[in-house]
Amino acid sequence: MWQAIVEEPKQIGKRAWLDRFSWYQMQDQDVPGATRLGHHDCLISGTIVAPRDPEVWHDLNKRKWIYFHGVNHLSIDGGGKIDGMGQEWWSRSCKHNYTNPCKPAPTALTFHRCKNLKISNLMLINSQKMHMAFTSCRRVVASHLKVLAPATSPNTDGIHISATTGVEISRSVIRTGDDCISIVRNSSRVWIRNISCGPGHGISIGSLGKSNAWEKIQNVKVDGAYLYNTDNGVRIKTWQGGSGFASNITFKNILMENVSNPIIIDQYYCDSRNPCKNQTSAVQVGNISFINIEGTSATEETIKFACSDTSPCEGLYLENIFLPSYFGGDTRSFCWQAHGSAQGYVYPPACFSNSSDFIRQNVLLEPNPAINSV
């Protein structure tokens, strides 16, 4: 079926489809297309199902299931479903049982080195690991997606963005066991709007700088989101020892309900079983804005800015924040080496260091990043 999308390059407007009454079981599928021309449409109105048994991947690449690489001008639509049948993978995960060895698991749907993508009206459920990933892509529009997996399913990120420029994600519902949306190394010009997230781990920038890597994230805007019952709200996480920067990032117009750690910058991130060693270098975090965020916090510590001693956070900005406790009682802020300013009503109150000495730069993104200009 997939070959129909990219074959016969002399014809423009290739189209492939899965019938809505059909059910297809599919093993590892690799769809190349770097040399193909024209616009390719893929209509999925049926259901694509992965083999249930992880042993089927014995001689296959265990990091991918459906994999598009080098395909340009591709549209996927149709209202269909992709089911990763990940339950057996989860039960074998080292995140569930530390006595299990940590092994790779497939991402359900990956786009690598693709340009001009449009993905809409698609449901992804129960992926073996991540549900959808864009890696080294350019100009991506994704909308009207539904991504579902149990809150206890490990590493089942909804949408993962890596080394990708010019992304718009909108009008989607994501309920998984990990980040609803994760944006990692060397990505820029990302616009996220009108997202429902939860349960899961919230919307994350990073992690960045693992294994002393130089990495960057810039020009990201999250405008319009509803988060509920998530382990984190909006988060930036970096490892000690890394370098690079995360800058020009705005989170605004966000409603949270029973969210743990609603606003967090953590430059001491460590998900190792053993404590991570202290290191002096760090990814520079600066020009980060949190605007019009309200709701309820499941944790007493509602705002946390844990920044590096050697590379403090600069240019943090809070405006119109109201995050009382979901359970009643007070909430509080925590700041370490965090420099910035606040405007409007902010609860819990800001705790910036030397905020009066910092003149904030005008770095907010335009309302609609020109994703087609990259």
Enumerate the H helices of the chain as residue ranges: 3-6, 87-91
Cβ proximity of 325 and 301 under 8 Å: no
CA-angle at 52, arms to 105 and 33, nearest 5°: 60
For 167-193, the pLDDT digits (tens) are 999 999 999 999 999 999 999 999 999
For 318-360, the pLDDT digits (tens) are 999 999 999 999 999 999 999 999 999 999 999 997 543 333 4
CATH number of 3-366: 2.160.20.10
Average pLDDT over residues 136-162: 98
Annotation marks residue 201 as catalytic: yes
3-state helix, strand, coil split of the chain in percent (to 5) is: 5, 50, 45
**Upper half-sphere CA count for residue 267 (Cβ side, 13 Å):** 29
Output 198 or 95, whichever has higher pLDDT.
Answer: 198
Read off the pTM: 0.89
Give the domain ranges of the chain.
3-366
| Catalytic residue (choose from 73, 131, 201, 339) | 201
